[in-house]
Every structure is written in structure tokens, then in C-alpha cells.
Amino acid sequence: MRIAVLDDDLLLLEQIKGTLECHHHVCHTYADGTSLLKALRHDTFDLLIVDWHLPDMEGTEVVQTVRDMSGMQLPILFITRRNDERDVVEALSRGADDFMSKPLRMGELVARITALLRRAYPESMGARMTFGAYCFDADKRSLSVHGQPIELKHREYELALFMFRNAGRLLSRTHLREAVWGDGAETPSRSLDTHMSRLRTKLELTEDNGYTISAIYGMGYRLDPLGAPALHRAPAQQRAAATETLSG
């Protein structure tokens, strides 16, 4: 999963980053609230870890802004040296999903993150997954549509599975490249567009089959299940931007 960590303690940032990467997460770190909020204008994450006291603003302000931008689906873990009951209540009331007091215990941190991710993205946990006419078997790395097997190349399968596991979520281009091609991969931007176009054709992602792919200008892509609200829309600053549906 792709996780952003916000804390002005650089040593702690490195410790958290190392721990999460050991558990196969991709971790991006930020030392002030402004930097994280700026990143969220054009990027997406699966989970945020936010410190309370920051150089430029309070962590509660960051959480409130993120909720206004992205809604309630994105899980947020609050970390702080404050541990009074009223502090916990305030953090949760501002939109945090969980709360940890410093000094952090890395084992507990990983366990809490795993629990938050399991609740937020249950579709990502199973081996066999069915989405309407689309059936994935992650163990066999196979996909069928209306019971008919679809032949996909390695990256095409990885991208299709990731999109369906996150159906309804807006996913940034960087998020998609890291998830499918790997962290730090130098993937040409056009390669992602080409793969998306191929998936639309091979999987017949049309209204008749209940799913369409949309390209969100300045952000990335979203697989839309028809008849269901999107879980993660574009940030408020970009909601007015044009949404173009991919053509083959």
C-alpha cells in the first residue's frame, strides 16, 4: 500500500519509513503540513499518518482539510505525544480513524495500519474476487469476463487487478506507476495511458458491462462502477476540471 507520513521529527520519519518498507508498503514522508497538502492536489495515497504539532499548522487542521478535499474513505492515523482523553476525542472528532501516543512502538504501529487498511480496502484481501461480470483469481493470476478467460500480459493483469480492487477511487498516475511498475520505476507516462487503453478494449469496459475508465485531468484514472458513487473524487481545486472518458 502507498502511505504518506507527516511529522517534523526527521529521525522518526526515517524509522517509520524503514519499518513500513520492510512490510512491503511504499512510504512518502513530509515534514510540514503545507507540503503534504500540496502533494495531495495531484497525488493519492492509501493511508495517512499525521503528527499533531507541526511547524506550520496543527495536525488537526491537516486532517480537517484532507477530509474536505477527499472525503471520509481515506484512513488517517494520528500520532502525538498528547494522550489525554480529550486529545483522543478531538483527534477522532476532526476525522482521524485511529490514535497513537508517542513514543511509538513499531510493532503496534504496523498492526494498527494493517487493521485500518483491512477495514478501508476489504476488496484487496481476498484471492478470488468478483466484480459483476469480472472474476479474478489472484493465485492463478487469471481473469474472466462473463465466464470467458481474458488473456492479459503481466502488467496488464497487475493494472486491471489494482484498478478493480480500488474501483471508485481516484488514483494518481504516480500511485498507479508505483503499484504496478514498482517504487521508483522510470515508467514513461505514455506507457500508463497505453495500458489503460488496452484494458478498456480487452475487458470491454463499457456501460453494458457495468464499468468504465475515466481519465481525470491533472490527476490520474478512476474505474467507475456504474450506479455506485465514487469513493475518492478529485480534490476540490480540481473538481471543475474536465473528466474525459478513455477512447480506445
Q: Domain end: 101, 120, 139, which one?
A: 120
Number of structural domains, the chain? 2
53 and 141 housed in the same domain: no
Beta strands 98-101 and 128-131 are unpaired
Q: Domain end: 120, 141, 156, which one?
A: 120
The pLDDT confidence band at residue 237, using thresholds 50, 70 and 90, is very low
131 and 106 housed in the same domain: no
Q: Which helix (H) or strand (E) holds 29?
A: strand 26-30
pLDDT at 128: 81
106 and 130 housed in the same domain: no
105 and 130 housed in the same domain: no
pLDDT at 82: 82
129 and 49 housed in the same domain: no
CA contacts within 13 A on the Cβ side of 56: 11
pLDDT digits (tens, 9 = 90+) for 10-58: 999 999 999 999 999 999 999 999 999 999 999 999 999 999 999 999 9
Structural domain of residue 39, as residue ranges?
2-120
Distance, in Å, from the CA atom of 143 to the CA atom of 162, rounded to the nearest integer, reads: 13
pLDDT at 159: 96
137 and 107 housed in the same domain: no
96 and 137 housed in the same domain: no
Q: Domain end: 52, 87, 120, which one?
A: 120
CATH number of the domain residue 93 falls in: 3.40.50.2300
Distance, in Å, from the CA atom of 58 to the CA atom of 117, rounded to the nearest integer, reads: 25
pLDDT digits (tens, 9 = 90+) for 161-174: 999 999 999 999 99
46 and 111 housed in the same domain: yes
**What value does the mean pLDDT of the chain take?**
87
112 and 131 housed in the same domain: no
54 and 148 housed in the same domain: no
129 and 144 housed in the same domain: yes
pLDDT digits (tens, 9 = 90+) for 52-99: 999 999 999 999 999 988 778 899 999 998 878 888 898 899 899 999
